[in-house]
Chain A
Amino acid sequence: MSSQASVQERTKSGARSRFTWPEVVGLVARLVLGGALLVAGALKIGSPIVAARAVQAYQILPFEVAAYVGYALPVLEIIVGLLLVIGLFTRPMALVGLLLMVAFIIGIASAWARGLSIDCGCFGGGGTIGATETKYPQEIARDALFALCGLWLVVRPSSLFSLDRRLAGPTA
């Protein structure tokens, strides 16, 4: 592959092998975080009103502002998710993904702490649900996992099969 040269250039220990384990982890992190964002955005983009209600249900942002966040979020998630999956602009996109996940965790934790009964609306749906059906711990754990993927990629954006790698090209 034409990327061998840049592998050597970009990694400390991978001079001899084609890839290093951290790069495999990077690939997995990209696919997990990117895939999750992509799916979450795709499931919500068809019903903007529902997405707006889901954000409003958190009762954090002003009603109107929350609606706009609901409209815009799916688009952002799809674009960032797609870029992560193909590995283009990995570090900045991972940073955006990480910040999104941190924001989601804060939102869910806040709803939990205030005793609201809502669905996180992460993958569509959302809004008020019965107290028995809330899944705050699971939702937070899941988003924390995604955040971890983001953090990894911010620290080590280099990963296998990324377009970043390809574009860096044979420079040696």
Chain B
Amino acid sequence: MSTPAPATGSPRVKALLGALIALLLLVGVGGALVVGNRGQQAPAPEAGTYAVPAAATSPSGGLLVNRDASASAPTIDIYLDFQCPWCKRFHDTLDPGLTKLMSAKSAKVVLHLKTFLDSGDNDSSARVARAAACAADAGRLWQFQDAAFAGQPAQEGTGFTDAQIQQFAATAGITGESAATWKTCVADGRYSGYIEAVEAQSTRDGIRGTPTYRIAGKDADLTQVLPQDGPPNPQAFFAQVPAARS
């Protein structure tokens, strides 16, 4: 008991453990960087190798909702993920005003359907986004996104079933022959490459979160739209749209 600890004792064990943990940290962080980076780079298919909806502004651009807008109208780009609760909140607040702007042809509304909330088994954002792109072919994108947001599950991450997505199309008024076309488009996964390209492009465009609204290329200030206290204030958004000022 009174002799000093043997040389093989705890200091060496601890040094060994320390080295082991340092190694673990190195491997773990390195691995995380590699995995994360791969996830970042994977969804960047080469343009020309995938089908692009007619409404897309470019092979990796958003979907123009109203092609009949006047040429001089400012563009409102909306970056959204159908699984994102705040996208729904902003959608619910701004949708009537946006619809009004579009019927006056005084703004071009472009939807960038992001899928970054997909993870693991959850591929709901991608499935809904692909179905929405197919709905754009039927000229029903705006109605489809309304239906998809209305059907967003209360709990984030629950996702959408295929049956729900089918229901969104029906609610959006895709019926008869166009319903058959839509179904084929969805079943073929026709726009999977396009949706991946949109996600990759939005990262390159510096989108830092959803929803992001850009008016004529500039990030809109959303801080006053849903104030801490008081009702939603869509006017705080529309005041930033040049064409909406009278």
Chain A residues engaging chain B, CB cutoff 8 angstroms = 45-53, 56-57, 59, 63, 67-68, 70-72, 74-76, 78-79, 83, 88-89, 115, 117-118, 126-133, 167-172
B4 x A171 contact (CB < 8 A): yes
B176 proximal to A (CB < 8 A): no
> Which A residues touch B224, using CB under 8 A?
131
From B13-21, B166-174, B185-193, the one touching the partner chain is: B13-21
For B28, the closest partner residue in chain A by CB is A75
B242 proximal to A (CB < 8 A): no
With beta carbons under 8 angstroms apart, the residue of B1, B21, B31, B211 that contacts A89 is B21
CA A117 – CA B212 in complex, angstroms?
12
A128 x B86 contact (CB < 8 A): yes
Min distance, Cβ A82 to any Cβ of chain B, angstroms: 9
Chain B residues engaging chain A, CB cutoff 8 angstroms = 1-2, 4-5, 9-10, 13-14, 17-18, 21, 24-25, 28-29, 31-33, 35-37, 39-40, 86, 89-90, 116-117, 119-120, 206, 208-212, 222-229
B10 x A167 contact (CB < 8 A): yes
B222 x A130 contact (CB < 8 A): yes
A71 x B116 contact (CB < 8 A): no
For B34, the closest partner residue in chain A by CB is A71
A128 x B226 contact (CB < 8 A): no
> Which A residues touch B21, using CB under 8 A?
79, 83, 88-89
A50-B89 contact in complex given A79-B25, A128-B222, A169-B9, C-beta closer than 8 Å:
no
Most-contacted residue by chain B among A67, A72, A89, A130 (CB, 10 A): A130
With beta carbons under 8 angstroms apart, the residue of A50, A88, A130 that contacts B117 is A50
A168 x B36 contact (CB < 8 A): no
B36 x A68 contact (CB < 8 A): yes
A131-B36 contact in complex given A50-B119, A79-B25, C-beta closer than 8 Å:
no
Min distance, Cβ A18 to any Cβ of chain B, angstroms: 19
B119 x A56 contact (CB < 8 A): no
**What total of A-B pairs shows CB separation below 8 Å?**
115
With beta carbons under 8 angstroms apart, the residue of A78, A132, A169 that contacts B226 is A132
CA A76 – CA B166 in complex, angstroms?
43
> Which A residues touch B33, using CB under 8 A?
68, 71-72
Most-contacted residue by chain B among A56, A79, A129, A171 (CB, 10 A): A129
CA A57 – CA B35 in complex, angstroms?
21
> Which A residues touch B1, using CB under 8 A?
170, 172
With beta carbons under 8 angstroms apart, the residue of B25, B90, B209 that contacts A127 is B209
Beyond the given A50-B116, A74-B32, please list 11 additional residue pairs across the A-B interface where CB-CB is below 8 A: A47-B120, A49-B116, A50-B117, A75-B28, A76-B28, A79-B21, A79-B28, A88-B17, A128-B210, A132-B226, A171-B10
B225 x A130 contact (CB < 8 A): yes
> Which B residues touch A133, using CB under 8 A?
86, 226
The 3 closest A-B pairs by CB, nearest first: A71-B36, A127-B209, A128-B209
Interface CB pairs A-B, < 8 A, 25:
A46-B119, A47-B119, A47-B120, A48-B32, A48-B36, A49-B36, A49-B119, A59-B208, A68-B33, A71-B32, A71-B33, A71-B35, A72-B29, A72-B32, A75-B32, A78-B28, A89-B17, A89-B21, A128-B209, A129-B209, A130-B222, A130-B226, A167-B17, A169-B9, A169-B10
